[in-house]
Amino acid sequence: MDNCIFCKIANHIIPSSIVYEDDYVMAFLDTSQVTKGHTLVIPKKHYDNFLSTPHDIVSRVMIVAQRIGQIFIKDFKAKGVNILTNCYEAAGQSVMHFHVHVIPRYIASDGFRLEFKKNDELKSLNLPAIANQIKENLDHNKD
């Protein structure tokens, strides 16, 4: 895509601090470092998000993300790693090109928060019915 910033990085039009590159995947430091080493892993070909990316490309991206996360633990002495992706604006996706954040965590109080809170308004949900609906749709939408 012509005006996708990640496509421009993948095509070496915009410079970046690349930490990994092969024919399909590129990883580079996020210019907005949440913590030291915060890395983005992208497919070099444009896909809007995780949900629209072919399985083989998702696998390649996640393998690279895993390897980088392992380096943060072993060599950077991080105490943990967040590996995450967002799909669509409502979920926080700001660049519409599939990317995975690999965020090393050195201390719990580093300022980055990913928090899951109980929503009291959802207490009365019928979890078995929701699970069945998901299962039925998985069965009907097999690749």
Name the β-bridge partners of 43.
25
Active site residue 46: no
Q: Quick check: helix, strand or coil at residue 35?
A: coil
DSSP conformation class of 12: T
CA angle 68/56/96 to nearest 5° reads 70
Burial class (CB in 10 A: 0-12, 13-18, 19+), 99: buried
Q: Which of 12, 38, 55, 99 is catalytic?
A: 99
**Which is nearest to 64 in space by CA: 42, 81, 44?**
42
Residues that are catalytic:
99
